[in-house]
Structure 1
Amino acid sequence: MSAVKLNDITISYDDIGHGEDVLVLLHGHPFDRSMWRPQCDALGGKRWRLIVPDLRGYGESTVTPSTTTLDMLAHDVAALLDHLGIDAAVIGGLSMGGQIVMAFCHLYPQRVRGVVLAATFPQAETDDGKQVRNTMADRLLRDGMEGYAAEVLPRMVAPRTLAARPDIAAHVLGMMRGAHPIGAAAALRGRAERPCYDAVLSALPVPALIVVGDEDAFTTRADAERMHTLITGSTLVWMPGVGHMPNLEHADAFNAALESFLLTFGSAPT
C-alpha cells in the first residue's frame, strides 16, 4: 500500500506491476479497494500495471464531509495519475466507480485508452432518486453503517452467492460495515447531483468492456444494452446468476473477460 497527499487529501492506493500499460480500477459504494483483490491477484505481475485507489471518503483515504461529487473523485484520480507520471490508462469501475469513469472520460478524454464499466449505468439521477440518496445520507450520519449494510447485502450479491459463497458475502458485508458514514454520506449526496453521461459514452473513441450480472438489483439488462448501443464497438458480457458484484461473485469469468479485453491493446504510446 502507498499513500500520497493531493488535492488537500491523502489517497491510499495499490500500485501493482511495472508494465508500461496501465489499468486503473475504481471501487463502488460503500466499498474500498479490497473489492478488486481477485483482479489484482489475476493480473499482478503480468503485462499490465494496476493502480487501485481507495476513493476519497473510503478505505484508508481521507474522509471529507458534505458532498463529494463524481467530478471531484475524477479529479482525484487524475491527480494520482499525475503523481505517478502516467499520461493515459485504461480506466475501469464498478457501480459508482463506473460513473466516476464516465466523469473522468468527460473531463480528461485524452487520458483514456479504454474503459471497463461493470454493474453501472449512465442516466442522471431522478427527482425521486435524489430524495432517496439524500435521505439515506442523513440516515448514515445518524445511525452509522451497521443497519444499512445488513439491509442492502441481499441486493449487492445474488441469492446463490449468499448461499454458496459465504466468504464473498462476508467480504462485501465487511467493506460496507467498515465504510466511514461521513464519507459514504458525502458520496451519496454527490451522486444525487450526477448528470446524464449518454453523450459522453456516445462520443467515446476508445474500446469499452461492459459487464453486468443478470441478477443485479441496481443495473438492468436495459441499462447494459443502453451503454452497449451508445459506445460504438463495445463488448457486452452478460453474466448469469450474478448480482451487483460480478468481479467477486464470478471472479474467474470476470477476469477472463477482462484479460481478453486487455489483449486488444497494443503497447502504451510513448
Structure 2
Amino acid sequence: MSRATRSYRSSGAATGGAIRYVNSGDARIAYRALGHGELSVFVLQPFWTAMEDAIADHRSFIGQIARAHRVLVHDRRGTGESERRPGHISLDAMVDDVLAVMTDAGVDKAVLVGMGESAPLAIHVASARSDRVSRLVLIDPALRPLKGPGSAMLLHTLHSRPRAGLRALARTLVDDDLEASELGGQMARAVDGPTAARLYEVFLNADSFSVLDRVTVPVLLAYGVFDRLCSEEEARSLRQALAEARVGLITGPAGSEAALREAWTQIRDFLDEAAAEARANQPARLAPRLVERAGDDEAVPRPARSRTAAPRPVPVDYVPQGAPPRAAQPQMVPPPPGMVPPVVPPAMVPTAVVPNGNARPVVLTWGPPPDIPEEAVKLNRQGIDQLLIGNIEEALALFQKAMDLAPHYEDAAINHRELLTRLVQKRVAEWQAKQAEEMMAEAERRAQRWAERAARKRRGLLGWLLRSAEPS
C-alpha cells in the first residue's frame, strides 16, 4: 500500500475530506477541501504545521469556518503529505502552489487566512493575483522577522542537526520546555530539518511591505494586545499602507479561551460580510423560473428576484464590546453672586474591555499613551529585538534608557522588571554553578592530600618492616 493510500484511509474519513493532489511546477502539492458553502476560504497555516494537525487544532478555526463555508487547506511544498525534498523552494513557487490548488478545486476567488509565518505568503498571493482573492485575514502576522546571529545559527543548526534545530525553532515559539519538546516532535513529523531551513529562509527574506500597495482587497488585521512581537506601531503602519484595512483588537491573554473567542467573532463577522457581498454581486437570472400550479396544464413564469449590489461597509476597527461610559458629573457648589460658574466638560473614565462574542464591536483607540516620546517607544522596541537574539545586558540597558526618558512608560517598566528578574536568576545560577565547581575542586584537593598522606604512611610502614627484617 502506498503512502498516499495509507494517508487517505487513515485520516480522510476522520476529517471529512479526502486528500487530493495537484502538480505545481516540480512539486506535487497535497490539499483538502472541507465543508460546503457559497464562500471559499483558503486557510494558510505555518509551514511547520501539517494540514492534519491544523485541521485537528481548534485554534486554527478550520472546523468552525467549515460549518458555513468551503475551506481549503494544503501542505506547503516539501512538508506533510506533499512531495518531500522538492527541487525549488521560493516565495513565487509557493504563490503558484496556492493558485494551483484553487484552480484544481474549482475555486475562482477565495478569502485567504494567513496565520503568523504564513501571512507574507497570503499578502504576496493577494498582491500578485487580486482577481483570485476576495478578502484577506491576517492573524498575528509576522511581517518583520528579526534577522541576526540568532536566525543564522538557527539555519545552520537546521541543516547540520535537524532534530536539534527543530527543537530550537519550537523554543522560539513557546516558553514552556515541555510544550516546546512536543511542538518539536510535531514539526519533525511535518517537515525535515533542511527543508525547514529553506522555508524559514524564504520567510526571512519575504519583503511583504514592498507589495502592500498592490493589495486592494478588504483586510482584517487581528492583533493581540499581549503579543509583543506584533506591536501596535506595526498594526498602524500596516493599516496606513493597505488600501482597505481594519484592525481587530484581541484583548484576552495570548492562547486563552477569551482571546480565541474574540478572534473567532471578528473572523466570523468578516466572513459573513464577504458571503453577503458575494451573494449581492451575483448576476440576476437571464430567464424567469417556471412555477407549476396544481391543476394547470402549463407552467406560468415567475418573475426573477431583483438583485442589487449592496454598498460596501466602511472599514472600522474591530474590538469586543465595552465602550468607556461617561463619568458622573461632579456636584458643583453654587458660585457666589456675580461670578460665572466654570464649564466642566464631560469626562471619559477608562474601564476594562468586556468581551462579548455576540454583540457588534465598537471603535476603540489603542496603542502607546500619547505622552510617551517616540524615542522611548523606539528604545523599547530595540530592547525587545536585542532580547530575542540573546543580548540580555544590552536589552536591559535599552529598557532602562526608555524608562529614563518616560518614567511612566508601563511597557518598558514591565520589560525591565521581567528581564532584570531573569538576569538575577541567571547570575544566581552562574554563582551556584561556580560554587559547585569550587566545592568539587576543593573535594579533589582534599582527596589528593589524603592520598598523599596514605602513600607516605605506606612508605614509612614498608621501611620499618624492611629495617626490622634485617639481621642485627
TM-score under structure 1 length normalisation: 0.80
Match of 1:186 among 198, 201, 216: 198
2:116 alignment partner AA: S
Residues 85-138 of structure 1, C-alpha deviation per residue, up to 9 Å, x if partnerless?
211111111122110011112221211100011222445x67xx1765454222
Match of 2:49 among 19, 25, 31: 31
Q: Is the CA contact (8 Å cut-off) linking 1:92 and 1:101 kept in structure 2?
A: yes
Separation (CA, whole Å) in 2 of partners of 1:207 and 1:59:
31
Residues 247, 119 of structure 1: CA spacing in aligned structure 2 closer, same or farther, 3 A cutoff? Answer: farther
The yes-or-no answer on 1:223 pairing with 2:245 is: no
The structural deviation recorded for 1:54 is 1.1
Residues 191-221 of structure 1, C-alpha deviation per residue, up to 9 Å, x if partnerless?
23322x3353234222111112334354333
The yes-or-no answer on 1:50 pairing with 2:62 is: no
Separation (CA, whole Å) in 2 of partners of 1:242 and 1:66:
41
Q: Is the CA contact (8 Å cut-off) linking 2:110 and 2:134 kept in structure 1?
A: yes
Match of 1:141 among 132, 136, 159: 159
Q: Is the CA contact (8 Å cut-off) linking 1:69 and 1:193 kept in structure 2?
A: no
Residues 30, 214 of structure 1: CA spacing in aligned structure 2 closer, same or farther, 3 A cutoff? Answer: farther
212-221 or 73-82, which deviates more: 212-221
Q: Is the CA contact (8 Å cut-off) linking 1:69 and 1:191 kept in structure 2?
A: no
1:235 corresponds in structure 2 to 246
Residues 250, 18 of structure 1: CA spacing in aligned structure 2 closer, same or farther, 3 A cutoff? Answer: same
Residues 22, 193 of structure 1: CA spacing in aligned structure 2 closer, same or farther, 3 A cutoff? Answer: same
Alignment of 1:1-270 (within 5 A): 1-7=18-24, 8-33=26-51, 34-36=53-55, 37-38=57-58, 39-46=61-68, 48-64=69-85, 68-123=89-144, 129=147, 132-145=150-163, 147-153=164-170, 155-157=172-174, 172-178=183-189, 179-195=191-207, 197-216=208-227, 218-240=229-251, 242-243=253-254, 250-265=259-274, 266-267=277-278
Q: Is the CA contact (8 Å cut-off) linking 1:69 and 1:189 kept in structure 2?
A: no
57-66 or 86-95, which deviates more: 57-66
Residue 215 of structure 2 aligns to a residue whose secondary structure is coil
Residue 120 of structure 1 aligns to a residue whose secondary structure is coil
Residues 170, 134 of structure 1: CA spacing in aligned structure 2 closer, same or farther, 3 A cutoff? Answer: closer
Residue 82 of structure 1 aligns to a residue whose secondary structure is helix
2:382 corresponds in structure 1 to none
2:20 alignment partner AA: A
RMSD, matched Cα: 3.1
The structural deviation recorded for 1:247 is 10
Residues 231, 134 of structure 1: CA spacing in aligned structure 2 closer, same or farther, 3 A cutoff? Answer: same
Residues 11-64 of structure 1, C-alpha deviation per residue, up to 9 Å, x if partnerless?
222211122211001111422222354212212231x10001111122221223
Q: Is the CA contact (8 Å cut-off) linking 1:209 and 1:261 kept in structure 2?
A: yes
Residue 30 of structure 1 aligns to a residue whose secondary structure is coil
Residue 79 of structure 1 aligns to a residue whose secondary structure is helix
Separation (CA, whole Å) in 1 of partners of 2:227 and 2:136:
20
Residue 237 of structure 2 aligns to a residue whose secondary structure is helix
The structural deviation recorded for 1:144 is 1.2
Tell me how many residue pairs correspond in the alignment: 256
Higher relative contact order (CA 8 A, sep 6+): 1
Residues 180, 218 of structure 1: CA spacing in aligned structure 2 closer, same or farther, 3 A cutoff? Answer: farther
2:425 corresponds in structure 1 to none
Percent same amino acid among aligned pairs? 19
Residues 174, 251 of structure 1: CA spacing in aligned structure 2 closer, same or farther, 3 A cutoff? Answer: farther
Separation (CA, whole Å) in 2 of partners of 1:105 and 1:132:
31
Separation (CA, whole Å) in 2 of partners of 1:116 and 1:255:
11
Separation (CA, whole Å) in 1 of partners of 2:265 and 2:123:
23
1:100 alignment partner AA: L
Q: Is the CA contact (8 Å cut-off) linking 1:89 and 1:114 kept in structure 2?
A: yes
The structural deviation recorded for 1:171 is 6.7
58-67 or 223-232, which deviates more: 58-67
TM-score under structure 2 length normalisation: 0.48
Whichever structure has more strand as a proportion of its residues is 1
Separation (CA, whole Å) in 2 of partners of 1:131 and 1:193:
15
2:249 alignment partner AA: W
The structural deviation recorded for 1:4 is 0.8
Gaps of at least 5 residues in structure 2 are 1-17, 283-472
Gaps of at least 5 residues in structure 1 are none
Residues 170, 252 of structure 1: CA spacing in aligned structure 2 closer, same or farther, 3 A cutoff? Answer: farther
Residues 29, 223 of structure 1: CA spacing in aligned structure 2 closer, same or farther, 3 A cutoff? Answer: farther
1:201 alignment partner AA: L
The structure whose Rg is larger is 2
Separation (CA, whole Å) in 1 of partners of 2:148 and 2:141:
17
Residue 225 of structure 1 aligns to a residue whose secondary structure is helix
Residues 174, 264 of structure 1: CA spacing in aligned structure 2 closer, same or farther, 3 A cutoff? Answer: farther
Residues 142-172 of structure 1, C-alpha deviation per residue, up to 9 Å, x if partnerless?
1113x34444445424x6xx59xx9x87874
